[in-house]
Amino acid sequence: YTLAKRSNKNSEATRERVKNFINAKETEEIIFTKGTTDSINLVAQSWGSQFLQSGDEIILSQLEHHSNIVPWQLIAEKTGAIIKVIPINEKGELIVEEYYKLVSDRTKMVALNYVSNSLGTINPIKEILKYAFERNIISMIDAAQASPHLNIDVQDLHCDFLCFSSHKMYGPTGVGILYGRRDILEAIPPYQGGGEMISNVSFEKTTYNDIPYKFEAGTPSIGDVIAFDQAIQFIESIGHDAIQKQENMLLNYAIDKLIDIKGFIPIGTSDKKTSVLSFLIDGIHQYDLGQLLDAKGIAVRTGHHCTQPLMDFLGIDGTVRASFAVYNTTDEIDVFHDALVQIVNRFS
């Protein structure tokens, strides 16, 4: 009926928008999921169950979010695969030379984030994936933190899988995408069974739908998918270059303002990072600091940011993280600075 057809048309328009946003070859290579976590689980279970064997290696990094660690641990336990970890330096940057040493004839997957959610570090993902591509190693990029900030070109990056979430891009929660190369998507089994992902069902045998629908079991979040299209259009209307310029200005302004505050300790000091300022104040617990800032109307994230292995490596239990977006202003950073000074003075 008319409304259903219109909804389907608008939903598929989002798929086309995502395809162009990341420069995929085909619209069919874009799968709608519940978000980045769902996408990574899909790859780990569907691809991993098909291609991983005992002794095969999965390379992750010290900077990964739990959603790019736990799914690989689950499939490693099932298959007997081994997880290797790229270490970082004191600035929160990947030690690429150590990555080269980790790669072996048994390496089957390199799964890394493009940008660290805790530190904002922008990883040299193109260099890392080029090395994997030349050795026929499958790769997956967690682009959740990169998608609102950086240009993404899956063909230029030579990645096999890439995923991100709508809510990181000013869109609704509960929606994300998985990009996968057609040949790989067609070679792996469905992640879930149900409606839409089938071609024909009988009690004797079921045949599966073509991609991308083979991986989209059940009723999708149609309204949120359509809203996601508007979020992408918002980013495209500004342009990643303009977004980066504004956010870099805000980050540098904030660092210059906050660095002289008594006890201020920046965490993650890479020269190449997005607009994330992770820090501690000596003598004030990060949870207390977060609550006191919240009381002044300033929203920051506190805790381990779903990166406990990273925090363990740094020898801390968490940080305060201020994230600046294209809509923020220097006046807001001034308010943030003054609030921090008042809090620090109270504890002095």
How confident is the model over 76-88, as a mean pLDDT?
98
In the predicted model, is pLDDT for residue 348 greater than 90?
Answer: no
pTM of the model: 0.96
How confident is the model over 284-305, as a mean pLDDT?
96
**Which percentage of the chain shows pLDDT scores above 70?**
100
Specify the pLDDT at position 147.
Answer: 97
In the predicted model, is pLDDT for residue 13 greater than 90?
Answer: yes
170-200 confidence digits (pLDDT tens): 999 999 999 999 999 999 999 999 989 999 9
Specify the pLDDT at position 193.
Answer: 94
Which residue is catalytic, options 70, 150, 306, 311? 306
**Which percentage of the chain shows pLDDT scores above 90?**
98
Q: What is the mean pLDDT of the chain?
A: 96
Q: Give catalytic status of residue 163 as yes or no.
A: no
| HEC string for the chain | CHHHHHHHHHHHHHHHHHHHHCCCCCHHHEEEECCHHHHHHHHHHHHHHHHCCCCCEEEEECCCCHHHCHHHHHHHHHHCCEEEEECECCCCCECHHHHHHHCCCCEEEEEEECECCCCCEECCHHHHHHHHHCCCCEEEEECCCCCCCCCCCHHHHCCCEEEEEHHHHCCCCCCEEEEECHHHHHHCCCCCCCCCCEEEECCCCEEECCCCHHHCCCCCCHHHHHHHHHHHHHHHHHCHHHHHHHHHHHHHHHHHHHCCCCCEEEECCCCCECCEEEEEECCECHHHHHHHHHHCCCCCEEECCCCHHHHHHHCCCCEEEEECCCCCCHHHHHHHHHHHHHHHHHHC
24-80 confidence digits (pLDDT tens): 999 999 999 999 999 999 999 999 999 999 999 999 999 999 999 999 999 999 999
Specify the pLDDT at position 275.
Answer: 96
